[in-house]
Structure 1
Amino acid sequence: MTDHDSTERLERHACFGGWQDVYRHRSEVLDCQMTVGVYFPPQADPSHPRHAPCPVLYWLSGLTCTEQNFIGKAGAQRYAAEQGIILVAPDTSPRGEGVADAEGYDLGQGAGFYVNATREPWSRHYRMYDYVVEELPAWVESDPAASDARAISGHSMGGHGALIIALKNPGRYRSVSAFAPIVAPSRVGWGEKAFGAYLGGDREAWKAYDAVELVGSVRERLPLLVDQGGGDEFLDAQLRPQLLQAACERAGHPLQLRMRAGYDHSYYFISSFIGEHIAYHAAALRA
């Protein structure tokens, strides 16, 4: 990234003709330092014969993850290099001294759930929705290598984030996809715990961050692409893609739900199909 006084590059690795970087920058929205993985494809280099500002695919990771899980395990850089797409993978929550945390993996640091918390002690820092929708793109897209053409994707908690952010922001994203998303957080244990803590006990307020609740009222019919492993250990208790399928059928909202027999919740699953997702986004970003 260029011309950011509050930005520090922590890592740089040559990768498929481009560069996998990791940055630390100051987030005013989250009131802390945030780390972000950014992959620049070869086409982002001014010396490349097909150089042009590159569209951006934002990736949102799941519970317990940092930016490192996606950039190290998904194998996405190969496909981004082929398609000329910048990949941006932020951390999943605010972190650091003074940032509220909790026991367990499914609340607090590493579990931001891509909402704007309204309850103490979470509301000071846990505003991942605003960070992903506004502050992160402003930071990324101020770099001349990036265009303002955006797509968004994610896994599990991050798949939930990708779906609700795309649904709530018509015209902002060219495409959206998700791997094993938490489609109805208001109805499953992970979401009930997080939403109760971050948003309070009013379940009506939870609907603003629930994809199953949102699809019936959105103005833009942006198609949803969802891959779900049939062998996922969280399928029935936490993910429940059939709820999204039924809601989309009721609303006439386009959904492509692909059940992948035998695949679990891991990055083995993601790495198997990430190339198809990046090709899907590339087609929309070029349209």
Structure 2
Amino acid sequence: MYDYVSQELFDLAQTIAPIDLAKVGIFGHSMGGHGALVIGLRNPLKFQSISAFAPICNPISVPWGQKALTGYLGADQSTWQQYDASQVLKSYTGPRRSILVDQGAADNFLAQLRPETLKSTENAVINVRMQPEFDHSYYFISSFIADHFEHHASNFKGKGN
């Protein structure tokens, strides 16, 4: 999926509609939120804005992530680091980023998601908002999606046309 989202889908989208390449953002939910963080941080010139809803943040440290990473990448854990958002963030040296993450405080999966592992760095400011009484549902997303669109729009101000 990494290559599909970061290359194939990106290239396909440019053939369907005009895209201002100075104003491309990425966001997702759950495992897609994890993908948005990893892909956005690893491709900072392609994706100028990043946000996520309830992403799995540190998969190398939780059973879900260990199972998935073993299945996709094999048992050599040294290859897993580049697919772990919290680890990629630690070594991020791209352009300065402000990243928005919303997490439901009542999410049944919170122990596996580990949003506390996302720490701001010199080049990336992480705003993790714990939302009381919200879980992992689409109602959670619909409650805060406008904030994410505003986040991306504010990151695009002054870029391109």
Same fold, TM exceeding 0.5?
yes
Identity of aligned residues (%): 48
Match of 2:41 among 162, 167, 186: 167
CA drift of 1:216 comes to: 1.7
Question: What SS class does the counterpart of residue 170 from structure 1 fall into?
Answer: coil
Whether 1:137 aligns to 2:10 is yes
SS of equivalent residue, structure 1 residue 254 = strand
1:227 aligns to what?
A: 102
The residue type paired with residue 134 of structure 1 is Q
Q: What amino acid does structure 2 have at the position aligned with 1:232? A: D
| CA RMSD in angstroms, aligned pairs only | 1.3
In the alignment, structure 2 segments of 5+ residues that lack a partner are none
**Is residue 197 of structure 1 aligned with residue 71 of structure 2?**
yes
1:152·1:162 contact (CA, 8 Å) conserved in 2?
yes
Structure 1 or 2: more helix by fraction = 2
Q: CA deviation at 1:227?
A: 0.5
- Name the one with the larger strand percent: 1
Query: TM-score, with normalisation over the residues of structure 1?
Result: 0.52
Whole-angstrom CA distance in 2 between matches of 1:202 and 1:145? 41
1:258 aligned residue: 129
* SS, match of residue 219 in structure 1: coil
Partner amino acid, structure 2, of 1:210: D
Query: Which residue number in structure 2 is paired with residue 285 of structure 1?
Result: 156
After TM superposition, the runs of 4+ consecutive aligned structure 1 residues lying more than 6 A away are none
Which amino acid in structure 1 is aligned with residue 59 of structure 2? P
1:53-79 C-alpha deviation (Å, 9 max, x unpaired)? xxxxxxxxxxxxxxxxxxxxxxxxxxx
SS at match of 1:263: coil
Q: Distance in 2 between matches of 1:244 and 1:279?
A: 21
Distance 1:137 1:197 in 2: 26
Structure 1: any 5+ residue segments left out of the alignment? Answer: 1-127
The structure number with the bigger radius of gyration is: 1
CA distance in 2 between partners of 1:167 and 1:184 (Å): 14
Shift of 1:170: 2.1
Equivalent-residue separation in structure 2 for 1:136 and 1:215 (angstroms): 24
Task: Give the conservation status (yes or no) of the 8 Å contact 1:229–1:259.
Answer: yes
- The SS at the match of 1:269 is helix
- Give the TM-score taking structure 2 as reference length: 0.91
Contact 1:227 1:259 in 2 (8 A): yes
Q: Which of structures 1 and 2 has the larger relative contact order (alpha carbons within 8 angstroms, sep 6+)?
A: 2
Match of residue 24 from structure 2: 150
